[in-house]
Structure 1
Amino acid sequence: MNIKVTVKQLGRKHPVLSEQKIEIIYEDSVISLENLLKLIVQQQVEKFNAQSFELEDEDSTKIPTDNYLNILTDTGKVGFGSIYNLKKADVQKAQDNAIQAFEDRLFAVFYNDEQFSDLGQTIDLSLQHTFTFIRLTFLAGSYW
């Protein structure tokens, strides 16, 4: 089943990831948020692990263009498409981290205009709305 996903960060003009389609292995049209997060993480980990780990002397073919460089610096992470850590990602650890991050409110999940606050909430995938993941950041400073 294909779902549409967008990743955003508060206070930024451009989305971190523009809308993209992700194929998850799920047959039913109703799914819990927890299962959806685990399936998305599983798909992304498998995609990451399938990338080649060829060592390169120079990233000349992966240098971003001028207009894209501004978006990369706005997100706080500039990468050139190379993988320097040769370890494969662990699906179970990544899923556990995603669930813990949601419970700790490090990101919010929206389906159309509805925000999800509980991992047990069900989602009707047959509506084919776009999922929006918003990375939340804490303000610096204290109350004292």
Structure 2
Amino acid sequence: MIPTEEMSARRREIEGKLKQEEETLSFIKESLEKSDQLTKNMVSILSSFESRLMKLENSIIPVHKQTENLQRLQENVEKTLSCLDHVISYYHVAKDTEKIIKEGPTGRLEEYLNCMDKIQKAVEYFQDNNPDSPELNRVVGGLEAYMGETGTAIAL
């Protein structure tokens, strides 16, 4: 009986191990199915994200290009305004320097010389860029009138 008892015990042991292995196999299958489902969900989420990202990129690229164009235009406008301010300053030289030139160099020599320098630059600008400008005649005529009053000679 010992052999049948041993066999019986051995059989129960093997059946227990088999049952345990079947449970492990079942757990592994369930885990694999869950893993597959999670993988599919993740792929779906990533595909959706990629699609949205491409749509965003396609809508942002034109905005970025427009922004670059607007920045370039703004820089051009600023440069143009700066140039215009510089040119306009020549048109105001006669009026801005009139009082100091009339007073002459007495007591304010440096200021007087600065005004003379401004007038000289204005004359050069108008001679180079717009020789028929009435402003050139105004600057030169005013300067000659001022010099005539003070008795000072100037060479243009």
Q: Same fold (TM over 0.5)?
A: no
Larger radius of gyration: 2
Structure with the largest fraction of strand: 1
TM-score by length of 2: 0.21
Considering Cα pairs closer than 8 Å and 6+ residues apart, tell me whether 1 or 2 has the greater RCO: 1
TM-score by length of 1: 0.22
